Structure 1
Amino acid sequence: MQNKGLIKLFAILFGLVSLYQLSFTWFAKNVTDDAKEFAIEKAAGDATQIARFERIYLDSVANDTIVPLFNYSYNDIKDKSMNLGLDLKGGINAILQVSVKDILVGLSNDSKNPVFREALETASAKQKSSNQRFLDIFFEEFETASNGTVKLSDPSIFGNKSLSDKITFRNTNDEVKPIIEEEINASISTAFQVLRNRIDKFGVTQPNIQRIGTSGRILIELPGAKDVDRVEKLLQSTAELEFWEAYKNVDIQSFLYAADAKTAELFATEEVADTASTEENLDDLLGEVSDSITTPTRQNRLFAYLYPNVAQNPQQASSLIGQAAVADTAKVNAFLANKDIRALLPSEQRYAKFLWDAKPNGEILGLYAIKSNREDIAPIEGDVIDDARQGFDQFGNNPEVSMKMNSVGTKLWAKLTTENANGGFVAVVLDNEVHSAPRVGDPILAGSTSISGGNMTITEAEDLANVLKAGKLPAAAHIVQKAVVGPSLGQKAIDSSFRSFGLALILVLIWMVFYYGKAGLYANIALAVNILFLFGWLASFGAVLTLPGIAGIILTIGMSVDANVIIFERIKEELAGGKGLKEAIAGGFSFKGALSAILDANVTTFLTGVILFVFGTGPIKGFAYTLMLGIVTSFFTAVFITRIILNWSTNKNSSLTFNTNITKSWFQNINVDFLKKRKIAYAISGLIILGGIGSLFTNSLNYGVDFVGGRSYVVKFENAMNASEVAGTLKDVFEDAPEVKTYGAASQLKITTKFRIDEDGNTVDDEVRDLLFTGLQTYLPDGMTLDQFKVDYEGPRAAGIESQIKVEPTIADDIKTAATWAIVGSLLVVFLYILIRFRKWQYSLGAVTAVFHDVLIVLSIFSLLYKVMPFDMEIGQSFIAAILTVVGYSLNDTVVIFDRIREYTNQHSSWKFNRIVNSALSNTLGRTINTSITTLVVLSAIFLFGGDSIRGFMFALIVGVIVGTYSSLFIASPIMYDTTKKLDEGKK
């Protein structure tokens, strides 16, 4: 072997670098273990305080030197340690959709052109059931609505002043479209950067943010994040900061009294809205209330919902004009938006708009009247803010956000505060919520101000400062897909994953020594080096380790022995042919020996990993990444490290065998006529596939929320649960019975519903979760609160949500489309690769037919069995990962056999083709079965001892490996043979 000194040097250096990178994870784990011990001791039995004391400990040692040799603190090593994904650490995964519709409205300067507005609304409606981009649908609908009468470059649409340097009235629609697309892409890029800046300040370790194609979607992963509400607010806030003059309560109270009388007149005959506070008087919420305003009975008038802040004298002037229960704010908004009510406003107040506090005080929100204008443009906007920081008020008690303005803002702020000095009020409004509306004393000339009050916590002040500093989003963004994994479920996933990982590794090591003796021991050393390289690479490049990623690593371990198996089997053949040990080893590692088959098998599997990485998202990318990386490291260690060890052994004159006394006669002198049995195999496969197709039409598949949209919750209970009974109970709150099934343990259920999935907003998500809590009351422990039921609850509990996922229908359609293209793309790429390598389309046809056969059978089995198997068999992104892994494995098997067929064709030109094919199948049978057994042992260990969330994934792989082994012997090669029989006939 040439350059073995260089290979040794590289292996040693790479090994040292891997150990160095992994050491950070080890040191960090020691610190976190100490933190847990400290927290348990300090909590003194109060489990709810453990997490708090753990954070206190970690904060206290954040800057302490942990690795004296390199002077690294805990913060340093924490950032360099292994990244754990959401399913292992808990946390939040979200896909945000930046609103292209809002960007278009902004580019048009909020155009009111009827054709433009009609195209927008129609496109919005069609987007819900289409896989097309919103922009493409909008362009199509604009052409239809305008019918050639209006152009996109019209001055009332995109031919406006702000785009005048790019678009003129003379531009055609086809000329305007790429300009608009470019502007939208720039806005999405801005949104991406704004979100990245916010997340960088959020405080989670190793967050992940990436754009998804050109769809306007942004993937965000926050491992370890627990406060769901805080994350959602941080991500979806547009950060549209405005400074407005606010009316005094004394200025607006006459209107409020008139509005109350008018609502009583207009709505006296209507039923009172059913709100959360209908059964209780407002004085229970607000304290004492004047008898002239509220009555013991609920009336359908403004003051039945809004308690006005009445000023008895000028000294009681305030920017707060009233208060209402949170549940009643929608009713108040409806009253105040009524045209007959607004007609009561004096002419100088006709543009007034009413906004609520950003944060309730208990269950109460304050209402403010803002001095708006015809254009609804604030005197000062957030683009004048240069800096924002969290601080404390002048007494040092209450958190606030201090802001510093640029020169333009300083002048505008001085003007605004001067005009309102000595008693006026200025409201600081963020995303149409009032954060503060203080009285202005003296003019502020220094260009500084602050946001305070509202019971703001330090964390909320920090988040608000970060949002303001990062800047505003160019358009609204809302969460179209969200997965939340609770910390307890994440810990269970870690435990089960590493338990199955250890068992699988031990089984593989034992099998290799059992089958190959001392050579198997050397292969195990190479495998250990492979694992070191693999984890070292993951740690070095900041890859995120997920549950599917661990599955990919374990599968890589099972498949990585395949290269050693191919080499050892080839060496045994060379020895059987009369060569000496050194010559046999050299022949086994040569390109004419095992190397060609290993290279082809690894490249085809790697290509399927590439397809999976391109089309997958989140954890699926993690699986694909570790699979591809594992293929690279296993190839290197099998081809180079194993050979170095074997050469060292032979140079030491050590006795070396490639079998044991038990296995030395296994798979020897096999001569099976596989082709003679191909028609029986065709019939068996045909019957299974026909039965599966029939089941697919009648029984369908168990599509998960990834593919159909919806909300899915994994809920833990105290006792074993009856899924059918729970589904019936929840029908009362969800209108239709949700899908409920046992998930792992009998006391754990997976509840999936499409209830209100078409509605946007965090409030809808919260309401659906609250309804779930209400519907499950009879099954939950007595006295359990909603907070204890939530997924992000950290204290001890006997029941509650362990994880939850939400996928909107539009993105579900996109996921299905991407999955289809992933499978089709993998088949096409493999077909072309095999065609290039073997130079005959018959080989490509045989391989692709076998893969298609394997996919159909796995789908058929899932369709036939998903209603009876005791574990989750959903069809989602993980299942697509399993299918593509099956594709890679099946091709691996098939290519090794095809490589031997090609070799025999060149060596034995006098043989008939059927003899060549049968001989190749027989001589590679030992390798085929050995690899299959090793892989199945690994997969079975994960299936039995891995987490519940991965069991269906493993089952698909187990079925795929069995079917893939069968198809490489009885489908791929026979199909290839049947299409090339003329070669055989020409030799008769």
Structure 2
Amino acid sequence: PSLGQEAIDTGKKSFVIALILVLIWMLFYYGRAGIFSDIALILNILLIFGILSGLGAVLTLPGIAGIVLTVGIAVDANVLIYERIREELSKAKGQKEAIQDGFNHALSSILDANITTGLTALILFVFGTGPIKGFATTLLIGILTSLFTAIFITRLLIDWYVNRGGKLEFSTKLTKGLFRNININFLRKRKISYVLSAIIISGGLASLFTTGLDEGIDFVGGRTYQVRFAQDVNSEEVKGAVNAVFGSSEVKTIGSANQLKISTKYKIDENSAEADEEVQSKLYGAINPFLPDGLTYEQFVAGENNVGKMYSGKVSPTIADDIKRSSVWAILGSLIVVFLYILLRFKKWQFSLGAVAAVFHDVLIVLGIFSITWRFMPFSMEIDQAFIAAILTVIGYSLNDTVVVFDRIREFLNEHTSWEFERTVNSALNSTLSRTLNTSLTTLVVLLAMFTFGADSLRGLLFALIVGVIVGTYSSVFIATPIMHDTLNKMSKKKD
């Protein structure tokens, strides 16, 4: 289902606010160089929307999830490049040489991260249905435009500026030297992280098996309507009136007390337009006492003056089962492909295991948190097609984060052959800390701004993404890497 006009309008506003905050952050952190990454980011977003518009795509919640992940990937690519240039500059290299080496060294990480995410999107596109396919399409377009703008446009702008005699430091007075010479022993803390994750996942699983999830009609079938009233209404009173007509229903307050989501399975097995019209007409009759006097059926359907039906959607039980099945197979298929790609690139299955374990870890935590919190959150946390897109976004983000870290570990293993394995891994983690935090913070800024200023219908999706980004950042450092380290160590000891 496509979004209502209000959701689109507020979504646009919140996205613009989020984008402005990200642009300001890049300027604050990277100084004059941030201007070029900002130009590349704006161009990237324009390209995405331009291509989607050219394809005649309709803005949906899964599409928004894809765009948010794309923005994260685009920012990440620029951050990776700039962080590597900063490293090269710290080695007392000349500006041009540092820029050249920075781009070259960042390229491997950028390509690996984008290829893993791209492979995931490709599998989802091939095997997924409607919403998953829409998400995958947006993501595939975004990956291509991000690579183009980060690798080509940013480089073009920087080279143009430097060749004209311009000087770039890729930092400001406040950020110069930030995260340099950090030496945190991440691996020493791995047992704590294992226990912490086990506790959170166990609590989530317990809730999933007892409380379950708030399954929307996408998973059980039904018709749903989002209705706005002229004044605050009591959802229980409205539910009583609706049940008197339909027998059973779900009525929930969405955001403010004058807006309800009404779902019913009445005549769900009938797919005709007449049945749709009958259900809608009966709904109007049921809730008419709560609507303004004189509001006609036509005005109710049109949602005139922001009163009446704001949104409607319908899913048959068969489609609901198909969505479940295709979602599971698409996700599993993408993880298998990613496992094989990482194995191919890193030559050790332990890297693949770490990455996939982190993905499962992140997904389980997001599901668990949703199961624990959906009963008392002030916004809808239904498990629907948008939530599937959120889970896919979490998977994409988690993989992107993990592969960047793994890429640095591989580089350090090749460069520092005399170092102990634990020292190499810790050093690699410390060297990527600035990039990890930068990317996570900018992505969170986008999500938090959209969550705060966006429409109520977006909040469930955005909440899942916020949790996913936080957990994904944590897992790349404290789950994926330690699992890779421990399994590799165990194999080495067996050989010895």
Place the TM-score, normalised by the shorter chain, in its bin.
Answer: over 0.9
Q: Residue 156 of structure 2 corresponds to which residue in structure 1?
A: 644
Aligned in 2, Cα 1:544/1:723: closer, same or farther, shift over 3 Å?
Answer: closer
Question: For 1:502 and 1:600, how far apart are their aligned partners in 2?
Answer: 29
- What does residue 725 of structure 1 align with? 237
Q: 1:515 aligned to 2:29?
A: yes
Distance 1:600 1:630 in 2: 15
Residue 750 (structure 1) aligns with? 261
Corresponding letter in the other structure for 1:924? T
Which amino acid in 1 is paired with 2:424?
A: I
What secondary structure sits across from 2:67 in the alignment? helix
Alignment check: 8 A CA contact 2:211 2:371 kept: yes
Query: Residues 423-458 of structure 1, C-alpha deviation per residue, up to 9 Å, x if partnerless?
Result: xxxxxxxxxxxxxxxxxxxxxxxxxxxxxxxxxxxx
Question: Could you tell me whether the CA contact under 8 Å between 1:496 and 1:947 is conserved in 2?
Answer: yes
Quickly say closer, same or farther: Cα 1:769–1:563, change in 2 above 3 A: same
Q: Structure 1 residue aligned with 2:140, among 607, 614, 628?
A: 628
* The one of 91, 94, 117 aligned to 1:577: 91
Give 1:799's match in structure 2, choosing from 288, 307, 320: 307
Q: Is the 8 A contact 1:544 1:622 kept in 2?
A: no
Indicate the residue corresponding to 2:453 in structure 1: 945
Map Cα deviations across residues 571-628 of structure 1 (whole Å, 9 max, x no partner): 11112223221111111111xx111000001111112222332344445433322221
Tell me the residue number matched to 2:348. Answer: 840
2:281 matched residue in structure 1? 770
After superposition, the Cα gap between the structure-2 partners of 1:981 and 1:788, relative to the gap in structure 1 and judged at 3 Å, is same
Give me the whole-angstrom Cα distance separating, in 1, the residues matched to 2:7 and 2:44: 24
Structure (1 or 2) with the greater strand fraction: 1
CA distance in 1 between partners of 2:368 and 2:60 (Å): 28
> What residue in structure 1 maps to residue 46 of structure 2?
532
Please say if residues 200 and 365 of structure 2, whose CA atoms lie closer than 8 Å, have aligned partners that are also in contact: yes
| Residue 713 (structure 1) aligned with residue 225 (structure 2) | yes
If asked which structure has higher relative contact order (CA below 8 Å, sep 6+), I would say 2
Q: In the alignment, does 2:377 pair up with 1:863?
A: no
Using the alignment, how far apart are the partners of 2:494 and 2:102 within structure 1?
33
Give the aligned residue type for 2:178: W
CA contact (8 A) 1:567 1:594 kept: yes
Conserved 8 A contact 1:914-1:984: no
Q: 1: distance between equivalents of 2:241 and 2:57?
A: 43
Once the two structures are TM-superposed, the CA of residue 759 in structure 1 deviates from its matched residue by 4.0
In structure 2, the CA distance between the partners of 1:761 and 1:545, relative to structure 1 (3 Å rule), is closer
* RMSD (CA atoms): 2.0
Partners of 1:910 and 1:641 lie apart in 2 by: 39
SS of residue paired to 2:212: coil
Which residue in 2 is equivalent to 1:285?
Answer: none
**1:63 — aligned with what?**
none
- Answering whether residue 410 of structure 2 is matched by residue 888 of structure 1, we say no
By how many angstroms is 1:563 displaced?
0.7
Structure 2 distance, partners of 1:769, 1:589, is 58
Instruction: Quote the residue 1:371 is aligned against.
Output: none
Q: How does 1:397-416 map to 2 (within 5 A)?
A: none
Counterpart CA distance in 2 for 1:694 and 1:987 is 39
Matches within 5 A, 1:269-284: none
How big is each residue's C-alpha offset from its partner over 1:339-372, in whole Å with a ceiling of 9 and x where there is no partner?
A: xxxxxxxxxxxxxxxxxxxxxxxxxxxxxxxxxx
CA distance in 1, matches of 2:128, 2:452: 26
1:398-429 Cα distance to aligned partner (Å, 9 max, x none): xxxxxxxxxxxxxxxxxxxxxxxxxxxxxxxx
Find the aligned partners of 1:528 and 1:708 in 2 and give their Cα distance: 40
Match of residue 215 from structure 1: none
Q: Secondary structure at the match of 2:100?
A: helix
Secondary structure of residue in 2 paired with 1:869:
coil
How far the C-alpha of 1:519 sits from its partner, in A, is 1.0
CA offset digits 1:204-248 (Å, max 9, x no partner): xxxxxxxxxxxxxxxxxxxxxxxxxxxxxxxxxxxxxxxxxxxxx
Q: What secondary structure does 1:740 align onto?
A: strand
Q: Secondary structure at the match of 1:776?
A: helix
Select 2:291's aligned residue among 777, 780, 798.
Answer: 780
Residue 849 of structure 1 deviates from its aligned partner by 0.2
Counterpart contact for 1:608–1:885, Cα < 8 Å? no
| CA offset digits 1:136-187 (Å, max 9, x no partner) | xxxxxxxxxxxxxxxxxxxxxxxxxxxxxxxxxxxxxxxxxxxxxxxxxxxx
Partner residue of 2:63? 549
Task: Report the counterpart of residue 174 of structure 2 in structure 1.
Answer: 662
Give distance in 1, aligned partners of 2:128 and 2:492. Answer: 44
Q: Which residue among 121, 136, 156 is the counterpart of 1:609?
A: 121
CA distance in 2, matches of 1:942, 1:606: 25
**Which residue of the partner structure matches residue 876 of structure 1?**
384
- Distance in 2 between the 1:564 and 1:986 partners? 41
Equivalent-residue separation in structure 2 for 1:534 and 1:762 (angstroms): 35
Instruction: Give the deviation of 1:537 after TM superposition.
Output: 2.9
Q: 1:612 and 1:496, CA in 2 relative to 1: closer, same or farther beyond 3 A?
A: farther
Instruction: For 2:160 and 2:388, locate their aligned partners in 1 and report how far apart those are by CA, in whole Å.
Output: 44
* Partner Cα distance (2:328, 2:62) in 1: 20
Say if 1:750 and 1:545 are closer, same or farther in 2 by CA, change over 3 A: closer
Gaps of 5+ in 2: none
Q: Select which of 918, 924, 927 maps to 2:426.
A: 918
* Alignment counterpart, residue 560 of structure 1, candidates 68, 74, 77: 74
Question: Amino acid of the residue matched to residue 596 of structure 1?
Answer: S
Give the letter for the 2:286 counterpart.
Answer: G
Q: Distance in 1 between matches of 2:330 and 2:15?
A: 28
SS of the equivalent of 2:39 reads: helix
Is 1:500 matched with 2:14?
yes
How many Å apart are 1:777 and its aligned residue?
2.8
Work out which of the residue numbers 594, 597, 606 in structure 1 matches 2:109: 597
Match of 1:383 in 2: none
Answer yes or no: is the 8 Å Cα contact 1:493–1:547 preserved in 2: no
Residue of structure 1 in register with 2:469 after alignment: 961
| 8 A Cα contact 2:2 2:59, kept in partner | no
Q: For 1:660 and 1:501, how far apart are their aligned partners in 2? A: 26
Aligned partner letter, 1:782:
D
Superposed CA deviations along residues 187-209 of structure 1, whole A, max 9, x for unmatched, are xxxxxxxxxxxxxxxxxxxxxxx
Specify the code of the residue in structure 2 equivalent to 1:637.
Answer: T
CA contact (8 A) 2:62 2:390 kept: no
Equivalent residues of 1:517, 1:659 under 8 A apart: yes
Percent of aligned positions that are identical: 62
How much does 1:889 deviate? 0.5
Query: For 1:43-98, what per-residue CA distance to the aligned partner results, in whole angstroms no more than 9, with x for missing partners?
Result: xxxxxxxxxxxxxxxxxxxxxxxxxxxxxxxxxxxxxxxxxxx735xxxxxxxxxx
Runs of 4+ aligned structure 1 residues displaced above 6 Å come to none
Which digits, 9 at most, give the CA deviation of each residue in 1:924-956, with x for residues without a partner? 011000000000001111112222222211111
SS at match of 2:330: helix
Alpha-carbon separation, structure 2, partners of 1:760 and 1:528: 43
Q: Structure 1: how far apart are the matches of 2:237 and 2:358?
A: 43
Q: Given residue 977 of structure 1, which amino acid in structure 2 is its aligned partner?
A: H
Partner of 1:299: none
Q: In structure 2, do the counterparts of structure 1 residues 798 and 604 end up closer, same or farther at CA, with 3 Å as the change threshold?
A: closer
- Number of aligned residue pairs: give it: 496
The residue number in structure 1 matching 2:184 is 672
Q: Structure 1 residues 583, 550: closer, same or farther in 2, change over 3 A?
A: same
Question: Alpha-carbon deviation of 1:545?
Answer: 4.2
- 1:957, 1:803 → 2: CA distance? 23
| Structure having the higher Rg | 1
Structure 2: distance between partners of 1:864 and 1:812: 23
Range 569-578 or range 851-860, more displaced: 569-578
Maintained 8 Å contact 1:87/1:493: no
Q: Distance in 1 between matches of 2:390 and 2:332?
A: 15
Residues 88, 102 of structure 2: 8 Å contact kept: yes
* Change in 2 beyond 3 A, CA 1:898/1:615: same
One-letter code aligned to 1:625: T
Is the alpha carbon distance of 1:915 and 1:943 closer, same or farther for their aligned partners in structure 2, counting shifts above 3 Å?
same
Q: Aligned letter for 2:101?
A: G
Cα distance in 2 for partners of 1:519, 1:824 equals: 40
Counterpart CA distance in 2 for 1:745 and 1:615 is 38
1:702 maps to which of 202, 214, 229: 214
Q: State the SS of the aligned residue for 2:418.
A: coil
* Contact 1:717–1:748 (Cα < 8 Å) also in 2: yes
Deviation at 1:784, TM superposition (A): 3.1
